Structure 1
Amino acid sequence: MSKKAEYKSAIRSRKMIRHAFVELILEKDMEKITIKNIVDRAEISRGTFYAHYADIYAVIEEVEDEIMGKMVEFLNDFKDIDLVQNPMPFLLKIAHFLDQDIEFYRMLIYTKGASNFITKLKEVLIEKILSYKETIPYIQKHEEFTVRVHFFVGGLVSLYQDWFAGKFECSLEELTSLNSQIMIQGFQDYTLK
């Protein structure tokens, strides 16, 4: 088998394992999920599972690390002021990332552990954006900026959760555009020199 085929096979196997795991979490408590449950659902062998993960917790860790890593990577692609002046490119990167496996992320939002993960995700985003307040020279009211960052990150995450839950009939692109407009208006005081 060529290296490219092996690589695609490994990606496919990990994706099948992750999907099976999330489907099972929707059905029963995580503590009751076994590797046998996952391999049966994913229709793979135990050897395939162990070729990619040491245990069930490694699956969770990989999903969380991947999402958090992508968010930080996307944030690092922008200069501090660029993100505040125009969050649309950042939000489009998030939308594109989610769109690559939308059903997986939709299921993930409904799992019992999702609230802990969402809290961690918000903390990472807030910490990264707050680091900008030292490099944007015309932020005079640091506490006000901090409150706005918390407000917008919390609202942003909540809106995406609600979109996944089907509470909005707009497309992911429309939601992204609306979020960007709201954030631009909310951070307008910090974009004027």
Structure 2
Amino acid sequence: MVKERRDVRKSKNAIKNAFIQLIINQDIRKITVNDILTLADVSRGTFYAHFLDIYDVQEQVENDLMDRCMQVIGENSIDDVIDDPYPPILKCIQFLMEHAETIRSLSQGNQNGAFITKYKVILKESLFKSSHSITNEVTLSVIDACIVGAVVEGGLEKIIRDIPLNAEETAQIISRFISRGVKGMIE
């Protein structure tokens, strides 16, 4: 695999970071390529060498954010989450809180929008790919729904609505929900 050149990576990151700064302060529909170019201090050619348009930048920023979140979640197997959901859920909530402004801006305040749907799909795929000892697909789907639902409802949607939350307290509530739901299903 060929590694991306440092200057290419640096210009792409500058464009993405400029985009994030802009969406935090204004509606994405009002952002122009020139706004991004000025803030990122790159040329028009550099922009179009890496991105098709502003929505392509948005998609790549979303994917980068979700990839990093999945790395946080993927550090644990589903078995670990079932046994003790608090540590991985706490890490996930802390990550979401750390990127709250970007998440709110990307979702444009819409809890039912494409960002949430995309997040749920990627979270589900990540959990399915993680190591686990569950062989029954139905059980795995129910456990996944329980975990994904808890994280999205308990954390992500509150962040999007800008509802203040405490990471530890939120992780405890979500962990209890997961434990009760999964244990009730298994028993």
TM-score (norm 2): 0.69
1:117 aligns with 2:119: no
Letter in structure 2 aligned against 1:93: K
Partner residue of 2:148? 153
Q: What does residue 183 of structure 1 align with? A: 178
Q: Is the 8 A contact 1:39 1:45 kept in 2?
A: yes
- Whether contact under 8 Å (2:37, 2:43) holds in the other structure is no
Alignment match, 1:73: 71
- % of aligned pairs identical? 23
Answer whether contact 1:74 1:93 (CA < 8 A) is retained.
Answer: yes
- Shift in alpha-carbon separation, 1:189–1:128, aligned structure 2, 3 A: farther
Number of matched pairs: 176
Following TM superposition, by how much is the alpha carbon of 1:105 offset from its aligned partner in structure 2, in angstroms? 2.2
| Counterpart residue number, 1:102 | 100
- Which whole-Å deviations, capped at 9, do the CAs of 1:57-86 have from their partners, x for residues lacking one? 332122222122123322331133112222
Unaligned runs of 5+ in 1: 1-6
Output the aligned Cα RMSD. 3.7
Change (3 A) 1:172 1:148: same
Cα displacement (A) at 1:8: 9.0
- Structure 2 residue aligned with 1:84, among 72, 82, 88? 82
TM-score by length of 1: 0.68
Q: Cα distance 1:37–1:125, how it changes in 2: closer, same or farther (>3 A)? A: same
1:19 aligns with 21
- Structure 2: any 5+ residue segments left out of the alignment? 1-8
How far residue 112 of structure 1 moved from its aligned partner, in angstroms, is 6.5
| Cα distance in 1 between the residues matched to 2:110 and 2:85 | 30
The match for 1:3 is none
SS in structure 1 of the partner of residue 106 of structure 2 = helix
